[in-house]
Amino acid sequence: MKGPRCVLANRLSEISYWNILLIEAGGDENALTDSPFLNIYTHTKEFDWGYNTTIQPRACRARQGQCNYPRGRVLGGSSTVNGLMYVRGNPYDFDNWEAMGNHGWSFKDVLPYFIKQENVSTTDLPRDVHGFNGPQSVQFQRHVSKIADYYYKAGEEFGFKFIDYNGLHQIGIGPAQVSMVGSTRASTAKGYLNPIRKRKNLHIVKHAEVMKLVFEENTLQEEKKRVLGVIFSHKGVKKYVEASKEVIISAGAINTPKLLMLSGIGPKNHLRGLGIPVIADLPVGNNLQDHLCVPVYMQVNKHIGIRDEEVFSRKAIMRYTKNKSGPLTTNGYEAIVFVNVFDPKSLLQNVEWYLTSFRMFVAENPANIKENVVAPIVINVNPSSIGTVRLNPLKPQGPPLIDTNYLGADEDMLILREGIRLLFDFFSTPTLASLKPQIYFKEFGNCVQFKNMIDQLIDCIITQYSATLYHPVGTAKMGPKSDLTSVVSPELIVHGFENLRVIDASIMPKITRGNTNAPTIMIAEKGADIIKFSYHTKSTY
């Protein structure tokens, strides 16, 4: 979940005579979440739900097949702990949503909400498709390493066009657009919530977990059921709060289906097996989609990136704390590439590269900090594999069973395989070849036996070292009621209910071809307007 709660709290509390209650399981951000580089160190109990996937037979094998699955447990949600990337996706993604029966969700319909959210701080981007006055700060990296010049020169040699990938076309290479303000993370808590916390009609309860929905009994047999309110736990005490108008679930693609199912909304056979009374038989928890990524560690012969020792040095820490400068102010993504590995002429990307300046995932293997290693990340942004979220029969209130079904579709393996092959070709361009790049086998110990067998090596790297890019979506799918695989309507109302909505990444019917933070904010912006329109209201603040 990428922080749509903060967006909704802001936009709905604009109606001064509406009382808005925001229930948040976590607490506030702090200095650790503020640093762009330290995002992987926020995956702790203080900020993260601590989830893992079920055993995946074809992915994450270096972790015995159980992929780490961070989800933000903090104000701002995963926008407070993610990699800061701001990527809208491809216009086709949203036109496809509409083609699936979701009227009002085409690119022309959602573009105004991307523009509305953005506060772009560079004049290098076109004003007709970008926003410059919104709450969500977007900018280019302030700290740029020397290797960035190598990447862009190699891109030119490789035939890539230089792009604004948040414009109308995505195929090519361009600088990372990040959710930052100056040298600090720009979460939705900072952009949307902090400026309006003192509104008298906005109430925030932190460190509180919603346990289940409470329904109006005399409506349970009717075509449109009503939710009365929610039961939540706050500091060990169960409490009940009643909604005067609506209950909006905005807990993300993992916790939203968990809450719905605990409340009796979900697949009837699954719920009955757990002894949960079925309120509504809906395909909640199905349609789980995510972006699987593979870091490709490469050692180069020049110190033109960021060494681990530089990031964790006293000098780097002092630079950051005193004047917000240095390597701690970057997420390390020097350039972004979008490409279709099957058809170079296609306008629809299926692979994204993060071209990095340092060795990613250093927290998991901090050795060899003085070597010149970079780790471009290859991402399948158009996966076909579909997974599920289910309650754990042993402890339904505990962490859910997250089966991502990574690489369940053969095409997903092929996309990653070709994405890595193309990356190797990219590193063979004259500019990058001058760095004498070599695969860094100290990070690929489980695959060293395939050192001289490129096909087997690539497959081994994918199955052993793949990981989530932290983009789960789709588990409360949006669609017309005639679509029996859908959970919510295009107005984001749960099918069969009058006053229950879901507004978060779980409603995406198909995952976007890029990072999901920006589309999730868009969903919340549009969702807030849908609610206001349904009550014929306008902002009074």
Which residues participate in the annotated binding site?
Answer: 74, 210
Which residue positions form the known binding site for FAD?
Answer: 74, 210
Helix, coil or strand: residue 125: coil
Question: What gap in Å lies between CA 31 and CA 24, rounded to an integer?
Answer: 20
Helix, coil or strand: residue 256: helix
- Catalytic-role residue among 203, 471, 495, 536: 471
DSSP letter (8 states) at residue 82: S
Q: Measured between alpha carbons, how far is residue 277 from residues 122, 218, 219, 263, 272 in Å?
A: 54, 16, 15, 8, 7
* 495-533 core/surface letters (b: 16 or more CB in 10 A; e: else): bbbebbbbbbbbbbbbbbbbbbbbbbbbbbbbbbebbbe
**H helix or E strand, kind and range, residue 268:** helix 268-273
Q: Measured between alpha carbons, how far is residue 382 from residues 19, 68, 375, 415 in Å?
A: 40, 21, 21, 9
Phi, psi of 341 (to 5 degrees): -75, -15
What single letter denotes the amino acid at residue 322? K
Tell how strand 20-23 and strand 202-205 pair up: parallel
Task: Confirm if 250 and 8 have CB atoms less than 8 A apart.
Answer: yes
In the block, which residue shows the tokens 């009621």?
481
Give first-to-last CA distance, the chain, whole Å.
Answer: 27
Question: What gap in Å lies between CA 498 and CA 483, rounded to an integer?
Answer: 18
471 is catalytic: yes
Residues annotated as part of the active site: 471
